[in-house]
Amino acid sequence: MEIKRIKIAGVPLDAVTYDTALERVRFFIESKTKGFITTPNPEIIVLANQNPSYLQTLQSSALAIPDGIGVLWAPTYLSLPFRRLRIHRYFELIFSLIRAFLSPAYCRIILPERVTGTDLFYQVVEASRKYHWRIFLLGARPGVAEKAIHHLLKSYPDAQFVGAYAGSPADAEASEICERINQARPDILFVAYGNPAQELWIHQYLNKLDTVYVAAGIGGAFDFAAGSVKRAPRSMQAFGLEWLWRLLKDPRRFRRIWRATVVFVRLVFRSKYPGI
């Protein structure tokens, strides 16, 4: 199945829906093809443009799901006609942002759907019941992954979780972690070390994992599944306002939110109009 791939500031994104993303997961496992899945959001794109190694890692992905309303808006904005006058460029940017907020459908002109890593995680767990996929959870704080499995098995009692381990992305622990995973023989590995550590770890060690054919970094998904952190209400998720919910819950995230909003918009604008 051919999937259209675009790039925002050098970071690849695939035009997928939840259904097509899940189909790719199934394809990787059934064809025994190593599938490195990334979940680019505005903050990740900004970080990648500050870290060449991280950018190269994201560019090596087999599937890059658009995780964030900002990454849906950006290609739509970038597809607008080139404006010669600087004042017109600024008006175009402001109008595009306002339209994106008032009409979410406007953001789906290039990429059809926002596919979050957390929601895809739940869908893969559900699908594992049908296809008998074996899942390993790596990362988060000690005990969180085990608690997540305990909660998930209440909703998905036939899911096959074959292991969980906190560990760390430190190179010194890599050999032990790979051995643990190989002994458990999972088909799928979810890693929650945060960005960019989780993607860098997968990129470096996926080929050392004998039976893992799908690996994805999913940030705080284990915390959500464990009930340690509450997700934004569905209404805020629908309008892409999870960042505001997180800021209200934890004002210390201001720097990250600033990077994912103001810095990201500036990066996209300058990628269209270099030199400004």
The pLDDT of residue 153 is 96
Give the separation between CA 245 and CA 194, rounded to whole angstroms: 19
The pLDDT of residue 236 is 64
* DSSP per residue, 136-198: EEEESSTTHHHHHHHHHHHH-TT-EEEEEE---S-HHHHHHHHHHHHHH--SEEEEES-TTHH
The pLDDT of residue 258 is 85
pLDDT digits 0-9 by tens, 143-173: 999 999 999 999 999 999 999 999 999 999 9
Q: How far apart are the first and last CA of the chain?
A: 39
The pLDDT of residue 260 is 87
The pLDDT of residue 220 is 87
Report, as ranges of residue numbers, the positions in the chain whose pLDDT lies below 50. none
The pLDDT of residue 157 is 94
The pLDDT of residue 102 is 86
The pLDDT of residue 219 is 86
Structural domains in the chain, sorted by start: 5-66+115-226 (3.40.50.2300)
